[in-house]
Structure 1
Amino acid sequence: MGSHEVARRWADALDGVVAPTLTRSRIEDLLTGLAEELLAALRGSAEPVTARTAAAALVAANYRDEAAVGRTVPIICRDMVTALCPDRDDPEFERLRERAITVAAEFAAGFTAALRTTALAEQEATLTAALAAAEEARAQRQLSEARFAAIFADASVGIGTVDVTTGKVLDVNAAMAEMLGVPTDLILGRSVAEVLGAENIGRAYAQFEQLRAGTIDRFRIETDHARPDGDRTIIDLSMTAVRDATGRARFLVGVCVDITERKALADQLWHDARHDHLTGLANRVLFFERLAGSTPPIGLCYLDLDGFKEINDKFGHTVGDRVLRAVADRLRAATEPDGLAARLGGDEFIVLLPRCIDTEQLVSMSGRLLAALTEPITVTGRAISVGASAGTALVTRHPEAIDDLMHTVDAAMYRDKSTRHRPRTRRRQHQP
């Protein structure tokens, strides 16, 4: 399967997500070029960060719905991996799949960044147009007011004006009223404090008061707004004082963008980039982030499954994947709430135990993990026994560089890995 076939499947997956600005043939041409870049990243001939450029290209082609990410990730992790290595039993297949996860995470991060850049550019353009129209009103009032009214009424972002002296709302457009969850006629003529309500008086309102007092000229902030109907909206608010020729503030203009869905997408992408797609456990990225942020002493327990290859060979990879998910569920239950269980790849798992008191606590954790795997796992009516080997390490001194800490942990883990079914703890101190 070449890059063109991958691009065709990619185009099929994206069909219906949005109304793109390109024809089907031009979409396939675009995706063929992007697929070649992503395949190069999977091979290792290009850096995974290349995926960010591919994501930005999709956003530029008007693919701005979060579904574009959800439909692209399987193309990267399944179709592109299969295109490069059709044989799942080939040792190269697992390496490609692990690299595909990293490439997919970079794609998701790039998609979020490109969406935010595009949205902010549109927001700034709207605010600039509104301010330009307001300034033009001083010299050509009748014409400019008509232009401002058109921008004000039809804008997809929320726009409102406030009297700088009284703090009362002069006007709002329909988008602003919808965002706040309050009808327009219940907003006009009321103070901003009354419109927002006591629950929403906070940091944004404090900056609004500074703007009225003249101590600042503008501000921009993200704020969590509780609507009267019980829903919560995350709003990106920009507010500016509009001044006359003498420098006196005439009124305040605010522009709001509802970023609730965008924030939810960003949170989901953050989660997906830091969790194993098969088991839902933390992946290497999140594990090493938590490791770097932990304060010694830190307990680490490494496990790998005994005979897992034989399970794949005998029952197939589908059963093997279900076994891995069951193992992950048991490790998670045995670890929480004290520690973090992560899948490093294949049949290798590791548990981080922050604020580990001593070796006894670490050995106890290791015993709990092994005990959790003693009962057979039932898959499609079969009782499958899974053994495990465990090694432990206690890191008592945090190194200055995370790379040094990773080296210390890897050395201890692989040294203890040779101890089968007999948890043993080594007290490790990072040596500068």
Structure 2
Amino acid sequence: MGSWELAQRWADALDGVVAPTLNRSQIEEMLAALCTGLIDAARGGEDPDIARRAARMLVAANYRDPAAVSRTVRVICSDLVEVAADGSDDPAWPDISDRAIVLAGDFAAGFTAALRGAALAEQEATLAAVLAAAEEAENRRALSEARFEAVFDGALVGIGTVDMTGQVVNCNATLAHMLGQTPETMPGRTVADILGPQNLNAAFIELQRMVAGESESFRTETEHLHTDGRVTAIDLSMSAVRDAEGAIQFLIGVAVDVTERKQLADQLWHDANHDALTGLPNRPHLFSRLAEAASPIGVCYLDLDGFKEINDLWGHTIGDRVLRVVSARLRDTVGPLGALPARIGGDEFLVLVERCAGEGQLNDLADELMTALAAPLEVNGHMLAVGVSIGVAYFDEPPAAADELMHAADAAMYRNKHDARAAIRPRGAHRTGPALGQTS
């Protein structure tokens, strides 16, 4: 399977996501060009921007639905890996899979940035139109005021004006709704009174500076807390409108509700930084945390024993459920400590402990993990047992390269593997044959 067939699979995955600017043939041609670069990047190519460029091209083609992201991520993490590896026995498969995860994360981040850029471009155009209309109102008041009111009242973005005492002159229904008000209740009141003390944040401080004549404009993203507990994320731009002599007459603000976009960005970040099967942080997220970890740090490296036999005997569906149960136990055990559990691949996990008290703390944690994970699991009416080998490593300062830390913990795990197995055998943690599963 080459780039063209991969492009067709991608196009099939995107089927149903609205993109009126392109027909099917044009979509396949666009995706085929992107697939060539993505395949090369998955194989270790040197185009670091290919995934983000792909995201920008899809947004430009009017793919702006969140479904375009989730479907594309699946194509990158599955179909792209299959094409790039060119066969499941390829020894480079793990590296290709890791690169595909990074590409998926870059695509998600690029998609969010492209969406935000498109929204901001529309906001800038709206603000420019409003300011132009306001300027025209000074020169041709009768005609331009009617035009301004039409834009003002019918705009899908929030628009409001404030005088130099900080009182609202007028606002449209969109802005009033964002703030939990009505267009009738806002004029004549101060901004501070409308917002309430809980919303007098950095945006309000910038507005005060404009009222005092200390700045000409500002732009920021702020959150508005409603009385019912809802939070609206608002992208706010404000500018001063001057008369022919240069004196400020009033301030005009344009607000865009970006709550859904922010929620989408948060979801995309979570998806890119967490394992889809278990919900634990993934390898790239772990490495990112390691780069900023507070010293000293400790790690527990875990490798499941007997998991291959479970997959062979009961199938990968049961194996996946076992991994979910193991991950839940891992999360419950380390959660009270504030440690970070992560799945780094296959049946391998790692726990990062920041501000670690020493090897004694790590050994105690390893014992707790051993006890929690060695207990039999009930999956679909089967009692399964899987053992675990754990290695610990303690560092006064994090190594310069995260791979050094991983190697040290991995080596400790293999040194202790025989002892770890001996410690959990009496509990029936892992054996081959019937001990791996019993019908309840």
- The two structures have a TM-score, normalised by structure 2, of 0.87
Tell me the secondary structure at the aligned position of residue 298 of structure 2: strand
Q: Distance in 2 between matches of 1:277 and 1:263?
A: 21
Equivalent residue number for residue 79 of structure 2: 79
Query: CA-to-partner distance for each residue in 1:52-80, whole Å, 9 max, x for gaps?
Result: 10001011111112222122211222233
Equivalent residue number for residue 413 of structure 1: 409
Query: CA-to-partner distance for each residue in 1:379-417, whole Å, 9 max, x for gaps?
Result: 333333212221111101345xx42xx244134223213
Given that 1:388 and 1:421 are in contact with CA atoms closer than 8 Å, whether structure 2 keeps it comes out as no
Equivalent residue number for residue 98 of structure 2: 98
- The two structures have a TM-score, normalised by structure 1, of 0.89
Query: CA-to-partner distance for each residue in 1:15-71, whole Å, 9 max, x for gaps?
Result: 333343222322222222223332332233354641110001011111112222122
Given that 2:167 and 2:189 are in contact with CA atoms closer than 8 Å, whether structure 1 keeps it comes out as yes
Q: Distance in 2 between matches of 1:388 and 1:239?
A: 59
List gaps (5 residues or longer) in structure 2.
Answer: 421-440
Tell me the secondary structure at the aligned position of residue 336 of structure 2: coil
Query: Structure 1 49/334 Cα, relative in aligned 2: closer, same or farther at 3 Å?
Result: farther
**Number of residue-to-residue matches in the alignment:** 418
Given that 2:298 and 2:392 are in contact with CA atoms closer than 8 Å, whether structure 1 keeps it comes out as yes
Tell me the secondary structure at the aligned position of residue 419 of structure 2: coil
Query: Structure 1 174/16 Cα, relative in aligned 2: closer, same or farther at 3 Å?
Result: farther
How far off its partner does 1:298 sit?
1.3
> After alignment, is 8-17 or 200-209 more displaced?
8-17
- Pairs within 5 Å for 1:20-59: 20-47=20-47, 49-59=49-59
Q: Distance in 2 between matches of 1:372 and 1:48?
A: 41
- Pairs within 5 Å for 1:245-264: 245-264=244-263
Q: Distance in 1 between matches of 2:87 and 2:310?
A: 17
Equivalent residue number for residue 214 of structure 1: 213
How far off its partner does 1:366 sit?
0.9
The alignment-based identity, stated in percent, is 55
Tell me the secondary structure at the aligned position of residue 186 of structure 1: coil
Q: Distance in 2 between matches of 1:207 and 1:112?
A: 27
User: What residue identity is the alignment partner of 1:14?
Assistant: L
CA RMSD of aligned residues (A): 2.3
1:136 to 2:133 alignment: no
Q: Distance in 1 between matches of 2:37 and 2:229?
A: 46
Q: Distance in 2 between matches of 1:305 and 1:356?
A: 24
Given that 1:390 and 1:421 are in contact with CA atoms closer than 8 Å, whether structure 2 keeps it comes out as no
> After alignment, is 195-204 or 271-280 more displaced?
195-204
Query: Structure 1 92/387 Cα, relative in aligned 2: closer, same or farther at 3 Å?
Result: farther
Equivalent residue number for residue 222 of structure 2: 223
User: What residue identity is the alignment partner of 1:35?
Assistant: C
Equivalent residue number for residue 278 of structure 1: 277
- Pairs within 5 Å for 1:311-326: 311-326=310-325
How far off its partner does 1:345 sit?
1.1
How far off its partner does 1:227 sit?
2.8
User: What residue identity is the alignment partner of 1:79?
Assistant: D
How far off its partner does 1:92 sit?
5.1
Query: Structure 1 89/371 Cα, relative in aligned 2: closer, same or farther at 3 Å?
Result: farther
How far off its partner does 1:269 sit?
1.5
User: What residue identity is the alignment partner of 2:405?
Assistant: V
Equivalent residue number for residue 428 of structure 1: none
1:341 to 2:338 alignment: no
User: What residue identity is the alignment partner of 2:187?
Assistant: L
Given that 2:311 and 2:318 are in contact with CA atoms closer than 8 Å, whether structure 1 keeps it comes out as yes
